[in-house]
Structure 1
Amino acid sequence: MADMTTEEKLQGYAELHNYGLAHLKSSALNCAVELGIPTAINSCGGEATAVDIMKKTGLVPAKLSHLRRLMRVLAVSGIFHESTPSSLAVGEQGETIYRLTPASRLLARDGKSSDMSALLLLFTRPDTTVSTFFNLVGWFRDAGTKTPFEMAHGMSPWILTKMDASYNDAMNHACVADSDFIMDIALKEASGLFQGLSSLMDVGGGHGMVAAAISRAFPQVKCTVLDLEQVISKAPDCGTVQFVVGDMFSSIPPADACLLKAVLNSWDDDSCVKILRRCKDAVAEPPI
């Protein structure tokens, strides 16, 4: 292997730092959402200084310099846009102004736009999602068939939702936020998919946000959600969606079509094939 040039060495050195410390970016974003920083900027009209953010979020003044560092990390990462007032004279220093980007706009809780903060908090949840990947070396060396999540936590995510109420709530809130966001776009861009259906089974449909959106747009479609008891028990009654407690690996009630949203992402190939076979059986049977 040929010797590297000084430029190549420095480039590699910088990339190692970037990858090795990449977890700081997601940790900083998690912190910003927990503190309510995107919401604070939004409530200031879409732009705010660190002092404004400090006041809006209730942080103590002693943390102001650290808040500026946090905002700098997130600005470099593209979560916020930063600038200084254009009216400043040459050489004059002014307070940096932070504005929302498309990503952080989705994290502002204003009751109007899509709020994806629950999904982001699930992605960056330290004790479950993040810790799943702490021992990938052990997982690769293990001859068993457990997923990294099962090796880290001793059970699948769906069993954990039954055992851990906090994780169950986090999962449900994240799924609701994701479904609300996706269906707003899907019903505008791909509404033809639901034309001609009289019944639809949302497999692993959580709290029924997807099914409810379809039901509102297509009242003639009878929408049903199939999910686990710990999920269904906390689902709100929207009046237009039927909820059924069940196991998608065992059987799926019959319908004209089965909808799978992000369900297959959590399972290995064999499990996915089994779920798809249950869906095929459900569609093949005459709907009730």
Structure 2
Amino acid sequence: MATNGKERISTTDELLRAHAHVWNHTFAFVSSACLKCAVQLGILDIIHRHGQPVKLSQLVASLPALNPSKSHCIRRLMRLLAHDGFFVDLKAADAGEEEEAEYTLTPASHLLLTTTSASLSPFVLLVLDPLIVKPWNWLTLWLGNDDPTPFLTANGRTLWDYAGQNPAFNSLFNEGMESDARMVASVVIEECRGTFEGLSSLVDVGGGTGTMAKAIAEAFPEMKCTVLDLPHVVDKLPGRKNLFEAIPPANAICLRWILHDWGDKDCVKILKHCKEVIPNRQERGKVIIIDMVVGHQKVEEANENGDKSTQIQLFSDMLMMVLLSLKERTEKEWANLFSIIGFSDYKINPTIGLRSLIEVYP
């Protein structure tokens, strides 16, 4: 069996593998939808609170919002999520229909518990919110029109306008960013302590509700940490004392997952301002960027899971295009930005998983 192109399917096995590949990517959204459902139903917390493996019947009985006529659906939901690595079915190896499934958590599902300090549940709910998912259905139409983003095409407003005008979505967005910040902060403080040692002050630009800055301040109590963000982000924070029109001077400026929200021209302006308010390198002045460097990942991940890590970085790049008409950057693209501004050097530390910590020196 042959195709019209250069690549040919020569055997039935190749045909079936290609068919499975197409179906796997076509139905990939099902896994995301089922994970969101499990988070919303509180299934992970129920299993965790049980303190021991939970039988399917016990799990079903613990879901008060479940319509009894749909109880049989939970087994199928759990079967898929167990296959995806979010649960372990201790009875699955027995493969007998009469054996009642019995579930425990995995390291991935522990990250989604609401009781864990670095829970990613809010991030999952943000990325899978209908407002964020809807623009993907408009991608083809957007490629043929003049709108800056598929988000605008689908929702009639930009993402930032929507967040500024819709309190519920703004809260969802902030909670999602906070959950990511908690996870990143815990890894950064453990793996990159040398980056922060000896600094007397740090400004977290675009620091949201201060999650990252609080974690750094607790780990380095001698450091003065300040958060700079938009009024609608910080206006309900308790104990806020100052709002700044510009970046205040500091030993170091932290930009966590900020610059991918801006095009190259705006990034140059932001980084120029940062360079102006930090001391020279001899006085430990630096800009600390926590962002993706496409193609860079932790050594163990590059060896064991490199294809998946790169795929997620490419997913994130497409997400930035759809939401904000922006991008994730390669090392060459980061280096070009630093060169334009006149930074003397930079160092990439790919020890925080899918993202890297970049130290940029004046």
TM-score range for the pair, normalised by the shorter chain length: 0.7 to 0.9
Rate the CA distance shift 1:93–1:180 in 2: closer, same or farther, 3 A: same
Match runs of 1:30-45 below 5 Å: 30-45=36-51
Residues 108-143 of structure 1, C-alpha deviations (whole Å, 9 max, x = no match): 223x553211111111112x2212322222333345
Question: Greater shift after overlay, 22-31 or 277-286?
Answer: 277-286
Question: Greater shift after overlay, 53-62 or 171-180?
Answer: 53-62
Match runs of 1:1-288 below 5 Å: 1=6, 2-58=8-64, 59-84=66-91, 93-110=98-115, 112-126=116-130, 128-142=131-145, 146-237=148-239, 243-244=242-243, 246=245, 251-283=246-278
Q: Secondary structure at the match of 1:109?
A: coil
Q: Give, in whole Å, the separation in 2 of the partners of 1:46 and 1:278.
A: 54
Residues 80-103 of structure 1, C-alpha deviations (whole Å, 9 max, x = no match): 1213188x7x96721111211111
Rate the CA distance shift 1:3–1:27 in 2: closer, same or farther, 3 A: closer
2:71 partner letter: L
2:243 partner letter: V
Identity of aligned residues (%): 37
Aligned-pair distance for 1:156?
3.6
Rate the CA distance shift 1:38–1:153 in 2: closer, same or farther, 3 A: same
Aligned-pair distance for 1:165?
0.8
* TM-score normalised by structure 2 residue count: 0.69
Q: Secondary structure at the match of 2:71?
A: helix
Aligned-pair distance for 1:210?
0.9
Q: Give, in whole Å, the separation in 1 of the partners of 2:266 and 2:174.
A: 22
Rate the CA distance shift 1:47–1:222 in 2: closer, same or farther, 3 A: same
Q: Secondary structure at the match of 1:223?
A: strand
| Contact 2:117-2:182 at 8 Å conserved across structures | no
Aligned-pair distance for 1:10?
1.0
Q: Give, in whole Å, the separation in 2 of the partners of 1:85 and 1:139.
A: 45
| Contact 1:122-1:171 at 8 Å conserved across structures | yes
| Contact 1:224-1:243 at 8 Å conserved across structures | no
Rate the CA distance shift 1:252–1:159 in 2: closer, same or farther, 3 A: farther
| Contact 1:232-1:245 at 8 Å conserved across structures | no
Rate the CA distance shift 1:85–1:16 in 2: closer, same or farther, 3 A: closer
RMSD: 2.6
Q: Secondary structure at the match of 2:60?
A: helix
Q: Secondary structure at the match of 1:244?
A: coil
| Contact 1:116-1:174 at 8 Å conserved across structures | yes
The gaps in structure 1 that reach 5 residues or longer are none
The gaps in structure 2 that reach 5 residues or longer are 1-5, 286-362
Rate the CA distance shift 1:243–1:45 in 2: closer, same or farther, 3 A: farther
| Contact 1:252-1:278 at 8 Å conserved across structures | yes
Rate the CA distance shift 1:60–1:142 in 2: closer, same or farther, 3 A: closer
